[in-house]
Every structure is written in C-alpha cells, then in structure tokens.
Amino acid sequence: MIELPSLVDQHCHGVLRTELGLGTFEAYLTQSASPAASGTTFFDTQTGFAVRRWCPPLLGLEPHCPPATYLARRRELGVLEAGRRLLRSTGIGTYLVDTGIAGDLTAPAELAAAGDAQAHEIVRLELLAEQVADTSGTADGFMTNLAEAVHGAAQNAVGFTSVAGCRHGQALAPEPPGPGEVRRRAGRWLSGRRVGDRLDDPVLLRHLLWTAVATGLPLQLHGGVGDPELRIDRTDPMLLADFVRATAGLGTDLILLHGYPYHRQAAYLADVFPHVYADLGPALARTGPRARTVLAEALELAPFGKLLFSTGGHGVPELHVVGARLFHEALGRLLGEWVAEGVWSRPDAERVAGLIAAGNARRVYGLSGGPSSDGRGDH
C-alpha cells in the first residue's frame, strides 16, 4: 500500500442539516431524479453497497448491515454527530465546495467545522447569473450586475464551476459571444423569466464561461454522466475540444468534472492541452470495487500532474466517506501493485500518489501547502 497525504477534495457539496428517512437517503445513492423502478431499490447499486460496507462501522455497526438498521442508528446519533463521525474518517483535509446546488445544505465553513478540515468555495456560474437576474430589471443592468458579481465572487472563491455542458451539450460555439448578442439574449431571457427560472440560453451560457475565464481562476466544467440534465447525450468532454483550443494560452485552467464514461477522453485532453485537468470524482465514488480499474483507465494517458481527486459528495456525508475510501483503496492498491511488479519505482509511486491526492489541487487552486496552514479563503 502507498501512503497518502491529507486529501484535497476538489469537487464536493455540503450535506443536509436534516434527518433522513429511507427514501430520502436512497435518492442520494443514484444520479437519477426519479424514484427507483418498482421492485428495485437504489441501495442495490455499487454506491449503496459501498455505503453499507464502510459507513456502519463508523457508527458502531457491522459492515453490510441492512439499510434500515443503519439509518436508525444514524437518527439515534443525530445528523450532526453522525456527520462529524463520518466526515472525520475521510482523511480529507480540505474541501472545495460547489455551493450551486439547491437544498438545505451546510455552507463551506460548516462543512469544514464538521469535518475538522478547511473549506473553500467554488461558485457555480449559472446560479450566480440566476440570482443576478432575480434582481436585475434590464438587460444592461443584468450585464453590469453580472460582471460585478463574477468579479466579486472571484475575490473569495478559489474557482468557478459551470453546468453549461449538461444544460446545452458540450458542443457550444467556442468563441465569446459579442456584447450586442449577449444584450439581446439577456433582454429576451429576462422578459420571459419568472423568479427562480433556470438559465439555459446558449449565448448567455457562453458569455458566463468567458466572463469566468477572464478572471483567471480555475474553471470547472461539468461533463460525463454526472448530472442527468437535459443533454446527457452530449456530455463527452471531447465535444469541448473547440472551447479548449479557444482558451489555450489565456492563463485560465479548465478542470473537466465527471468524465466517466469518457474519462479516457478527458485524460487525453489533459495530456494534449497544458491548461486542462481531469477530475477523478464520481468516476471512482460511484463504481465501488471497480474504482481501481476506472482510476487505472484515467492513468493511461493523463500526465500524473493533471489528475485531481474529488468525492463529488453531496447531501449526505456517506458520499464523502465512500468517495475518499474508494480513492484511497484504489490508488493505494493500484500503485502498490505496479511497484511490486517493478513497473514503477516506489519513490515515483509515492510522489504521484501525493500529487493526485492533494498536490495537484494545491497548485492549480493556489491553496497553501498543507492542511494545517492558513490559506486564502479558509473558513
């Protein structure tokens, strides 16, 4: 086994502050927005089995105990205490929290406190634009307010994230739209919009991406099958090739999230373009005993300085646990095997493990050197 440093979880969300029933909990074990089909349950998934493998012992139960037993114990401890026990077992020292998901979720500082860790915010562009739209009367006002909001967010956040690829497909026109076109689209969108409506105009989505690129902060792009939004058939990161080429050399790094099952393609882009990085998150966290192979696939073409650990955890801390444990086990065993076979040297393996677990994220997001130091934006 290869030892890992304190982990940087470069893509996750907060956890719910409320108790969960069997059905509510089950909804977090899938990427579906629908209930399980009749006669089936989402506990019967790799995610469900992985939760039942690792989490019961953290709350004093046997591994693989029935879901109802586990949730009863969880309620007995209370959501706060259970969350603390779970999060503190992960080995994660720093959380980068995408605050763009709806729901009564813990803010970064709260997640950090529960997990005895640090946290930094990643701002979701579409939500920011929707919030700006809620309070902007005109297209001009919207554009000014949006520019200010993105600029302001860049002061405190360590990065931005976008779901443009999931809402409209990755194959957006690569160049920045002109200001006149943006104004027209903004006017049209605002005039037909009710408070809370989502942004899905492709011109405005592109405008958001380029506004974020201009800040120089790392920009996470959702792709792969992590988000069952409208365009699940257009989320192959290879479709981003033109946008990636258009943003080359500008000084802003792009992080491809959720590459699976296109993680080999994401790894290729990370090889070919200096400013492209590939996230390992849900590809590992959702695949149970297969995480080792999925990780190995990402390690085929990607330079080892270009891969980033994450859990993708959201809603329930069990997902942060599972994501961290699967990563730890997969990376440790995979590299350990390669060292044993003489394919890699041990010092190389330990160095690479440290890069993927934490070092690459620290470098890309400009985080301070270790979990005990004080970084910009710590909570």
* Sites of contact with a copy of itself (CB under 8 A): 30-42, 44-46, 49, 52-53, 63-64, 225, 228, 231-233, 238-239, 241-242, 248, 253, 260-261, 264-265, 268, 271-275, 286-290, 293-294, 296-297, 299-306, 338, 341-345, 348, 352, 355, 363
Whichever of 184 and 290 has its CB closer to a copy of itself, that residue is 290
Half-sphere exposure of 82 (CA within 13 A, CB side): 25
Q: Cis (ω within 30 of 0) for the bond into 289?
A: no
Whichever of 127 and 295 has its CB closer to a copy of itself, that residue is 295
Among positive and negative, which fits the CA dihedral 111, 115, 116, 122? Answer: negative
Whichever of 17 and 64 has its CB closer to a copy of itself, that residue is 64
What torsion, rounded to 10 degrees, do the Cα atoms 375, 108, 312, 272 define?
-40
CA 288 remoteness from chain centre:
18
How far apart CA 77 and CA 241 sit, in angstroms, is 48
- Contact between 309 and 12 under an 8 Å Cβ cutoff? The reply is no
How far apart CA 9 and CA 325 sit, in angstroms, is 12
Whichever of 153 and 326 has its CB closer to a copy of itself, that residue is 326
For the chain, state the CA radius of gyration: 20
Nearest approach in angstroms of CB 84 to a copy of itself is: 26
Nearest approach in angstroms of CB 101 to a copy of itself is: 17
Nearest approach in angstroms of CB 271 to a copy of itself is: 6
Beta-ladder partners of 120: 96
Return the structure tokens found at 126. 């579409």
How far apart CA 260 and CA 267 sit, in angstroms, is 11
Nearest approach in angstroms of CB 134 to a copy of itself is: 28
Whichever of 73 and 264 has its CB closer to a copy of itself, that residue is 264
Nearest approach in angstroms of CB 373 to a copy of itself is: 18
Whichever of 105 and 296 has its CB closer to a copy of itself, that residue is 296
Helix intervals (H) in 253-377: 263-272, 281-285, 291-301, 317-340, 346-354, 360-365
- The label of the residue with tokens 């086990």 reads 329
Nearest approach in angstroms of CB 117 to a copy of itself is: 24
Beta-ladder partners of 124: 161
Whichever of 23 and 35 has its CB closer to a copy of itself, that residue is 35
Nearest approach in angstroms of CB 38 to a copy of itself is: 8
Whichever of 141 and 174 has its CB closer to a copy of itself, that residue is 174
- Contact between 165 and 221 under an 8 Å Cβ cutoff? The reply is yes
Nearest approach in angstroms of CB 34 to a copy of itself is: 5
